Amino acid sequence: MEEANRTMDDLFVNGELTEKQRKIIIAAIETFSEKGFAATSTSEIAKKAGVAEGTIFKHFKTKKDLLISIITPIVSKMLAPFVIKDLYKVLDHQYEHYEDFLRAMIENRIAFVKNNTSLIKILIQEIPFHPELKELFVENIGKKTFERFCHLAEYYQKKGQIITIPPAAVVRHTISVILGYVAARYLIFPDKEWNDEQDIELTMQMLMRGLSAD
């Protein structure tokens, strides 16, 4: 596990996981994200984790169970609560402008993606093939987060800062732009040379111009 995935430890260390369980999960994350869930064998995970094959099944009834044990925390404990907390904070702090909020947001998201590359890759790869995961994701991110975000958008619309079109459209556009940048930067072409500060700045400009009232 490289530097990049620092949060992972936070996710899986503090819990009531034993040392072996942690090793298994770490190994599984690494391998799943490299080769995909279906192409990863439990024996490979066992070897990489330094445990016996049987040990995996003592802790995770099934290979799929292991996948779910990996994905659930990101979705339900990390993404959702994270965002939600932030959103509350946002509403409390009352960022004066949508732009301020977005800047906080984008920083936040970038940090998250940076620290969880492997996990996010797994999430993206496996969601389409596992209905439970999809539901988990849609319910948490798709519904709760999206809804709150919409309220926020409305709030800034009422303040006259951003155009008054259906807030859902604002939100989707905002997410498109941010995720588009983050995905290109960290998932698709992580090895290209990037000028992070400038790129973010430009992206913010284009996004804000597109949304600002007037």
Distance CA 110, CA 41 (A): 31
Q: DSSP of 102-160, one letter per residue? A: HHHHHHHHHHHHHHTHHHHHHHHHHGGG-HHHHHHHIIIIIIIIHHHHHHHHHHHHHTT
Residue from 41, 164, 176, 205 binding DNA (CB under 7 A): 41
Q: Could you say whether residue 89 binds a second copy (CB under 8 A)? A: no
Centre a 10 Å sphere on the Cβ of residue 166 and count the other Cβ atoms it contains: 12
Best CA proximity match to 104, nearest among 206, 190, 9, 200? 200
Q: Could you say whether residue 51 binds DNA (CB under 7 A)? A: yes
Q: Could you say whether residue 13 binds a second copy (CB under 8 A)? A: no
Best CA proximity match to 90, nearest among 79, 105, 76, 75? 105
Q: Could you say whether residue 54 binds DNA (CB under 7 A)? A: yes
50 alpha-carbon distance from chain centroid? 28
Which range touches DNA (CB under 7 A), out of 6-14, 37-45, 81-89, 174-182? 37-45
- Footprint (CB under 8 A) of a second copy, residues 113-132: 121, 125, 128-129
- Footprint (CB under 7 A) of DNA, residues 74-93: none
Q: Could you say whether residue 179 binds a second copy (CB under 8 A)? A: yes
Binding site for a second copy (CB under 8 A): 35-36, 38-39, 121, 125, 128-129, 142, 163, 165-166, 169-170, 172-173, 175-177, 179-181, 184, 189, 199, 202-203, 205-212
Binding site for DNA (CB under 7 A): 18-21, 40-44, 51-59, 61-64
